[in-house]
Amino acid sequence: MRKVTVYSTKNCPYCRMAKVFLDKHEVPYENIDVGEDINAAEKMIELSGQRGVPVIIVDDEVIVGFDSQRLNELFGETTPGEIYDVLIVGAGPAGLTAGVYCARKMLNTIIISENIGGQALQSWAIENYMGYRMITGEDLMKKFEEQISTLNMRVELDRIVGISKEDDFFTIRTISENTIKAKTVILAQGNRPKKLGVANEEQFLGRGLSICSTCDGPLYKGKKVAVVGGGNSALQTAVEMSEIAQSVNLIVRSSIRADPAYVKMLESKKNITVHQNTHVTAIHGDKFLSAITIRNELGVEQNIDLDGVFIEIGWLPNTDILDGFVALNDKKEIIIDINCHTSMAGVFAAGDVTSVKSKQIIIAAGDGAKAALEAHDYLMKSASR
């Protein structure tokens, strides 16, 4: 039996996904919370060269992040092929809500996603979702996940690399070399974070550069950090990190574009320095990030010594896998009509990956329900022909 150790933090959604995967495949493991144990954090960094979680040790192999492909290779199993009524791509608010409605219509459904929760997991505090005065993104998605777990459907943690239509069925290929067929598809794979676009950026991801403050924030207790961005997510992250870190530099390319409530919270913090009309031009460090260079609108550059940088500059739609399969707009978002229909019959889409203007959890969930009902209607009409 393999020895498996998971280094994680309490609120890290990707850590939770790794543990959900291992639990599902009945793999015993030891979980170590490096947000609470400084010595364990130092050991994790020594073993992996990473200042980011999760880190999974399988015997002598070090797996950085929630690497669904490698975990499937080690512990996954191939199931006999069957044709599903609905295949849902993505397990954020849109995908999970679509799953609930498909289950209520007694449709044979499978959800495929790299994680459960999607972008909503990144939210420190949600104050505009009906039924909750305030709830974290992680807690809200846990409630979505709990509801899905009571239903009769298959959920696979995997990454889709290709989709096509063959005869009357849609064929999906995953990175772990599984092939799945379905009569209809709901695309709800959400967005991915934008990058800074500076030299050496990839080198420092997980080594001082982070796209998930919820995951990695606890590792920067008492350290100096920066947050890049000027919207709601950036201000949320800056405020939360001000309670953990020694100091926070907020780097804003133009001006702050956040809601007044977040601006007020920002202004109440004494250890946050705001740099407006400024952008990052360089990242410095050896093994780990140790400083950044910023430049203002006058061309004046400044070096800031730091231990970590959190990127909160927006998102890009996860539509690379579609490759002409359905129509996209100039932002590479999936074009849908008012009832979540795409340009391909039998393919529906919902959530932030679509051309819908407002990117909100409650709107994504509502469109997920609409997409599921439209998929059911499509199946009923197809069966009657």
* Domain match, 140 and 156 both: yes
* Domain match, 155 and 292 both: no
Q: What is the pLDDT of residue 61?
A: 96
Report, as an integer, the average pLDDT of 321-349: 96
* Domain match, 189 and 323 both: yes
Angle at 373 between CA 370 and CA 378, to 5 degrees: 120
Sign of CA dihedral 92, 98, 104, 108: negative
Report, as an integer, the average pLDDT of 75-101: 89
Report, as an integer, the average pLDDT of 279-300: 96
pLDDT in tens, 275-286: 999 999 999 999
* 215 included as an active-site residue: yes
Helix, strand and coil content of the chain, in percent to the nearest 5, comes to: 30, 30, 40
pLDDT in tens, 180-207: 999 999 999 999 889 999 998 989 998 9
pTM of the predicted model as reported, rounded to 2 decimal places: 0.79
Q: Does 121 score more than 80 pLDDT?
A: no
Report, as an integer, the average pLDDT of 255-260: 94
Q: Does 178 score more than 70 pLDDT?
A: yes
pLDDT tier at 77 (50, 70, 90 boundaries)?
low
Sign of CA dihedral 64, 288, 122, 277: negative
Q: Does 80 score more than 70 pLDDT?
A: no
Q: What percent of the chain has pLDDT over 70?
A: 98
pLDDT in tens, 139-162: 898 899 889 888 888 888 888 999
Q: Which of 75, 102, 131 is the last residue of a domain?
A: 75
* Domain match, 238 and 139 both: no
* Overall number of domains in the chain: 3
Q: What is the DSSP letter of 218?
A: G
- Residue 118 CA to residue 95 CA, distance in Å, equals 9
* Placement of tokens 């990058």 in the chain: 195
- The residue segments making up the domain with residue 166 are 83-193+316-384
- Paired tokens of 104: 């209520």
* 216 included as an active-site residue: yes
* Domain match, 378 and 325 both: yes
CATH code for the domain in which residue 255 is found:
3.50.50.60
Which of 215, 307, 352, 367 is catalytic? The answer is 215
* Domain match, 247 and 338 both: no
* Domain match, 215 and 272 both: yes
Query: In 3D, which of 75, 86, 100, 103 has the Cα closest to residue 19?
Result: 75
- Paired tokens of 173: 């290929």
Q: Which of 311, 330, 355 is the last residue of a domain?
A: 311
* Domain match, 124 and 183 both: yes
Residue type, 258: A
Higher per-residue confidence, 43 vs 126: 43
Q: What is the pLDDT of residue 79?
A: 58
| Phi, psi of 182, rounded to the nearest 5 degrees | -150, 155
Which of 216, 307, 352, 367 is catalytic? The answer is 216
CB of 15 within 8 A of CB of 40? Answer: no
- Summary mean pLDDT of the chain: 92
* 15 included as an active-site residue: no
Q: What is the pLDDT of residue 119?
A: 81
| Phi, psi of 87, rounded to the nearest 5 degrees | -115, 125
Residue type, 110: I
Q: Which of 75, 102, 128 is the last residue of a domain?
A: 75
User: Is residue 193 reached through a cis peptide bond, with omega within 30 degrees of 0 on the bond before it?
Assistant: no
Largest CA distance in the chain: 69
- Residue 10 CA to residue 218 CA, distance in Å, equals 9
* Domain match, 35 and 109 both: no
Which of 67, 212, 307, 352 is catalytic? The answer is 212
Q: What is the pLDDT of residue 42?
A: 93
Q: Does 317 score more than 80 pLDDT?
A: yes
* Domain match, 244 and 279 both: yes
pLDDT tier at 166 (50, 70, 90 boundaries)?
confident
* Domain match, 259 and 294 both: yes
- Residue 290 CA to residue 51 CA, distance in Å, equals 12
Report, as an integer, the average pLDDT of 99-105: 96
| Phi, psi of 380, rounded to the nearest 5 degrees | -65, -45
CATH code for the domain in which residue 66 is found:
3.40.30.10
* Domain match, 299 and 371 both: no
* Helix ranges (DSSP H) in the chain: 13-24, 38-48, 68-75, 93-104, 137-149, 201-204, 213-216, 232-242, 260-267, 361-384
